[in-house]
Amino acid sequence: MNGKQDYGALYVAFGVSYLAMALLSASTLRKTNPGIPFCIVSNVDFNPADFDFWDKAKDHFIKLSLETKENRCVKTSAIDYSPFDKTVYIDCDTFINGDLSDGALLLDYFDIAFRGDTEPPKCDVPVIGGYPVRQFPHWNSGIFLFNKSIGSRDFFKKWQEGFRKYDVEFDQVSLVEALFTTSARMISLDGRWNFMSFYSYRSKEYNQNAKVVHYTSRISFAIEKELLDMCKMIPSVPDAKKQLNEFIAMKRHHRKVKIGTYQYIKLKIKWLLYP
């Protein structure tokens, strides 16, 4: 890790399943954006030298002695952990499909950048003026950009304080209030930065012009295989494979409940036919 770096990617990966996803995402970042360094913040130990895509001269690993439930506290204070002047924060459950270098240009003109969501959170927590958060515009925190300006520091201070104040599982509630009240200059990201398809195919040809594919609970068989391969390289957790299998089963169950049995069967067939 050498000196000051201008623009890089940050992953917060608490727990072995999220670490496996972050490592997989970082490997796709290296293939598509070889000039962009990355930093993984985790409470699970591993040896970066075991991964052929890891460049010890520019990539970073920060090990924290925190419980896994503290992951969003770290995420909402990401500015304190990023070794870069300009950062693209990337959720672990992603793969990188396109060029992210223009994010650095956006941060020459703006402090932060988020993608708007068409649907508000299904939550009645009162925020600004006592109105429930679902009545406000909503932004997705899966991928966002930030620099280390005074405005960015004001934003993260408010996001972190709000997250602790509301004590809600998701960080989007406090994100709404922070974006409304911060002095930071924000620009919106388009859908290419946080692309969510119904199928989440792993192959690049199916992902149009997406920069970042965010598969969330759409863990296809192709993605599952790659995650299991990553798990084999995390020897600090003896039952890593078991934990990952249980995690994938839980995520797929959530997807099935959300879209219904018929659509879920259709989804699994598509995964078999088009990896």
What is the side-by-side strand order in the sheet with 38-42? 60-63, 38-42, 5-13, 84-90, 138-147, 112-117, 186-189
Q: What domain range is 20 assigned to?
A: 5-194
Verify that 43 and 110 share a domain, yes or no: yes
Same-domain pairing of 228 and 94: no
Total number of domains in the chain: 2
pLDDT for residue 122: 72
Same domain, 168 and 258: no
Same domain, 164 and 241: no
Domain containing residue 52: CATH number: 3.90.550.10
In 70-109, at which residue ranges do the beta strands (DSSP E only) sit? Answer: 84-90, 94-96
Looking at the structure, do residues 233 and 164 belong to the same domain, yes or no?
Answer: no
Same domain as 226, residue 173: no
* Domain-located, residue 207: no
| Domain contains 135 | yes
The residue type at 137:
P
The pTM assigned to this predicted structure is: 0.94
In terms of domains, do 47 and 86 share one? yes
Per-residue pLDDT of the chain (275 residues; tens, 9 = 90+): 444 579 999 999 999 999 999 999 999 999 999 999 999 999 999 999 999 999 999 999 999 999 999 999 999 999 999 999 999 999 999 999 999 999 999 999 999 999 998 777 777 888 888 888 888 888 999 999 999 999 999 999 999 999 999 888 889 889 999 999 999 999 999 999 999 877 777 666 567 789 999 999 999 999 999 999 999 999 999 999 999 999 999 999 999 999 999 999 999 998 998 87
Q: Are 45 and 154 part of one and the same domain? A: yes
Q: Which of 178, 194, 210 is the last residue of a domain?
A: 194
Residue 206 is predicted with a pLDDT of 64
Closest to 236 measured CA to CA, from 16, 63, 40? 16
- Main-chain phi, psi angles of 94, to 5 degrees: -145, 165
**161 and 224 co-located in one domain:** no
